[in-house]
């Protein structure tokens, strides 16, 4: 394997610590979390105590002030044990950066330290029943009336939605202006009219507390506006490259985990008196998958190098998101096949990872939308 030069010794020490945490505090409980439909709230405070939440936030706001590669380590180690119930990366590297990059000093001081400690869980509410990847189609409104906004609408497929204490709500503050009238509003647990719907039952990610959110005349102080009014769509576009890279990072590590599980399984499982690994088809198939995952990892690592110096563009991040998630699903399918009938049994990690992987091609913008983004960067507009 090609040595990964983007990580240094400090990153590796951090990885060892995260790996122990995942193996001791997360993996033993994940099956139970899948059955109950959400992770225990206690795991959030444990992660905070260990410095595993919001590590890239400055120390003044409760973080460790380290580079984003520490967060990458967390994402990879989470994917390695298929701990898909944890919403840590969304909390730490999507919600917290929005508040840090666009929030007021008061908002940063009020939310970020508690998010880093695991005392507050963050979520972002973009998707709606009639608006998924198309953020311009958002119908939720936040109309200003004096010193507050009145928020009305509904959101769905919201990760961390059931546990969430603070939600960044994408809403129209000027509905007649379309995308140009979009703002980001911080809605907090306990605000009258803010209700959480049922936890959604999904094909995979069964331990992740994905839920519906409803806003019925929720009065939100104007101080909870994130950034400037009517600039929400611009903020969303600025953060998308990093958000999509997170999906690519998890996809590659998850695919590698599947190959590792399968390589172990085929050396032990016997068919017609010999191990499955003795068959050329098995060995060649795993060689092909490992090669493709290695290619994907090199690409992801190069994207991370660009990200660290502020040069990762939206089109390249979209390439990584779509290609790596497509590859992840391909690897899962092939590895299930090599497991035979046992690959379809929920007790085997490959079965759960197979189910969990499918949504990677949908959220964060569907892979079809990713291809549209890429073609536009090539100067290929849609036919009119």
List the chain domain ranges.
Answer: 9-120, 123-229, 234-377
Sign of CA pseudo-dihedral 109, 112, 116, 119: positive
- For 119-174, write each residue's pLDDT tens digit: 999 999 998 887 765 677 799 999 999 999 999 999 999 999 999 999 999 999 99
Query: What SS3 class is residue 363?
Result: coil
pLDDT of residue 384: 54
Q: Hey, is 177 helix, strand or coil?
A: helix
Q: What is the mean pLDDT of the chain?
A: 94
Q: Are 205 and 84 in contact (CB under 8 A)?
A: yes
pLDDT score for 16: 97
Active site amino acids? 243
**171 three-state secondary structure:** strand
CATH number of this structure's domain 123-229, picked from the four choices 3.90.1150.10, 2.20.28.160, 3.40.718.10, 2.40.110.10: 2.40.110.10
Alpha-carbon span 348 to 177, nearest angstrom = 50
Strand partners of residue 151: 142, 218
Cβ neighbours for 210, distance < 8 A, ≥ 6 positions apart: 157, 158, 159, 161, 162, 199, 200, 202
Q: What is the pLDDT of residues 58-101, one digit of tens each?
A: 999 999 999 999 999 999 999 999 999 999 999 999 999 999 99
Return the CATH fold of 9-120: Butyryl-Coa Dehydrogenase, subunit A; domain 1 (1.10.540)
Determine the pLDDT at residue 279.
93
Mean pLDDT by runs of 10 across the 384 residues of the chain is 90 97 97 95 96 96 95 97 96 97 96 97 92 76 96 95 96 90 96 93 93 96 96 91 95 98 95 91 97 98 96 96 98 97 95 97 92 94 62
**CA end-to-end span of the chain:** 47
| Residue 104 CB partners (closer than 8 Å, separation 6+) | 223
d(CA 358, CA 204): 8
| DSSP line for 199-240 | EPP-SS-TTS--EEEEEEEEEEEGGGEESSTT-HHHHHHHHH
Q: What is 234-377's CATH number?
A: 1.20.140.10
Three-state SS at 14? helix
DSSP sequence for 62-125: TS----THHHHHHHHHHHHTT-TT--HHHIIIIIHHHHHHHS-HHHHHHHHHHHHHTSS-EEEE
């Amino acid at each position: 394997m090609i040595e990964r030069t983007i990580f240094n010794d400090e990153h590796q020490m951090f990885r060892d610590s995260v790996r122990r945490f995942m193996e001791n505090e997360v993996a033993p409980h994940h099956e139970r979390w899948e059955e109950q439909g959400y992770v225990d709230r206690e795991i959030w405070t444990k992660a905070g105590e260990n410095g595993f939440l919001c590590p890239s936030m400055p120390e003044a706001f409760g973080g460790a002030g380290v580079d984003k590669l520490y967060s990458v380590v967390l994402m990879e180690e989470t994917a390695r044990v298929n701990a898909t119930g944890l919403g840590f990366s969304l909390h730490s590297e999507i919600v917290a950066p929005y508040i840090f990059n666009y929030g007021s000093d008061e908002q940063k001081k009020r939310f970020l330290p508690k998010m880093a400690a695991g005392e507050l869980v963050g979520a972002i509410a973009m998707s709606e029943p009639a608006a998924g990847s198309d953020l311009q189609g958002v119908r939720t409104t936040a109309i200003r009336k004096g010193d507050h906004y009145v928020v009305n609408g509904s959101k769905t497929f919201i990760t961390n939605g059931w546990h969430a204490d603070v939600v960044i709500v994408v809403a129209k503050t000027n509905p007649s202006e379309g995308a140009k009238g979009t703002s980001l509003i911080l809605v907090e647990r306990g605000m009258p009219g803010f209700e959480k719907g049922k936890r959604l039952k999904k094909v995979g990610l069964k331990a992740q507390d994905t839920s519906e959110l409803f806003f019925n005349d929720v009065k939100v102080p104007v101080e909870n506006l994130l950034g400037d009014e009517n600039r929400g769509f611009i903020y969303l576009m600025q953060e998308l490259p990093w958000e999509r890279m997170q999906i690519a990072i998890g996809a590659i590590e998850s695919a590698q985990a599947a190959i590792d599980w399968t390589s172990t399984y085929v050396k032990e499982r016997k068919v017609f008196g010999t191990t499955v690994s003795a068959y050329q088809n098995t060995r060649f198939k795993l060689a092909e998958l490992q090669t493709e995952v290695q290619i994907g990892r090199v690409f992801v690592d190069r994207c991370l190098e660009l990200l660290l110096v502020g040069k990762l563009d939206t089109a390249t991040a979209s390439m990584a998101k779509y290609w790596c998630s497509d590859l992840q699903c391909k690897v899962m399918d092939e590895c299930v096949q090599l497991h035979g009938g046992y690959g379809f049994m929920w007790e085997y990690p490959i079965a759960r990872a197979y189910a969990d992987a499918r949504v990677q091609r949908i959220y964060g913008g569907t892979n079809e939308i990713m291809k549209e983004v890429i073609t536009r960067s090539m100067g290929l507009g849609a036919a009119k």
